[in-house]
Each structure stands twice: as C-alpha cells, then as structure tokens.
Amino acid sequence: MTVRVLFVCSQNRLRSPTAEQVFSSVPGLEVDSAGLNNDANTPLTPEQVTWADVGFVMEKTHRNKLSKRFRAVLKGKKVVCLNIPDEYEYMDAGLIRLLKARIPPHLPAVFSNQSRKIRYLATSLYYRIQPRTGKWWSGRGSNPRPSHCERDALPTELPPHTDPGGWRSKVEPPLKGARF
C-alpha cells in the first residue's frame, strides 16, 4: 500500500523541500511539496491536495490558510501540523531530526515495520562501532560492582565476600535444649 504525502510550508524553499527529499526514498510513500504563498517555488494547487492522502503543514498558520483556500478539496483528508518554525536552512541537520521524529507517528502503516528494522540496524551498528573496553561489568544500575573488585576480574576471580563484624562473623552457641 502506498501513502501519498504532501508537505506544505510558505515558500517551498526550505522546510517542505527538505521533508520531500528526506522521505522520498522511503518505501510505501509517494511525496510531494508545495508552498502556500503565490510567489512560492511550487505554489500549492487543488490537484496536489486532491492527490494527497495526508498533508503535513509546518505551522498552524499554514493549516488555517490551507483550510480556507482548499476547503472543498480537503474533505476527509488528514492534515497534520508539525509545529516547525521557519528557522532552518534547506537540509539542516536539526530540521531533518525534527522531521524524522514527528512524521512517522502519523504514518504507522508505513513506519511500524520500518522503525523496527531501523532500530535493529542502528543498535547493531552502535555495538559494532563501540570500542572493546574489556569490562564485563558496567558498574552502574541496581547491581553495581563492589569497590574492592579489580577492574577486569571475572566472577570466579573475585575474592570471597567477607563481612567483618557482620552477622556471618558471629558464632552463637546453639539454643539450650534444641535438637537437630
């Protein structure tokens, strides 16, 4: 199943073309972008709105303009406001991060399986890149390594646990009259 997505901003110079470029290679998506202003690089047309299954606008003002100008064509269409201000350049790393974080939750049919694959690949890549430190114990969390242990000691090399003055060091006589 292919989902047709339309990205809309004011001028179609920075944010919506970036979104189109980022998501153009995603399987299961057909993407297009346009601007709401008359002097936009690609002005929005009723045909584009009709073509799209989902529309993503960058700001609330874009959603208002879109609903005023294309009310008849928008019936039954999903329009999502991403709340991304006009402070990013084309293909800015921060903008790409925001787009990749905010768009997939609105397209679960396309991204649910892919997000699992991406997480798996990212995790496996992370562990391949990490240098081997030789530490088998992290020293964090609810089960920290005892302070007297050597840094790289294996569990069989650890000294036996002693508790000077603790309950193990006290030898109490058996109770009188107790039979074992």
> Tokens for 74?
């928008």
Name the pTM for this structure: 0.63
What is the rounded average pLDDT of the residues 60-83?
94
- Name the residue ranges covered by the structural domains of the chain: 3-113
Residue 35: predicted pLDDT: 97
d(CA 70, CA 76): 12
Q: Please give the CATH topology (third level) of the domain spanning 3-113.
A: Rossmann fold (3.40.50)
Which percentage of the chain shows pLDDT scores above 90? 54
Query: pLDDT tens-digit profile of 72-113?
Result: 999 889 999 999 999 999 999 999 999 999 999 999 888 776
SS3 80: strand
Q: Mean pLDDT, the chain, as a whole number?
A: 79
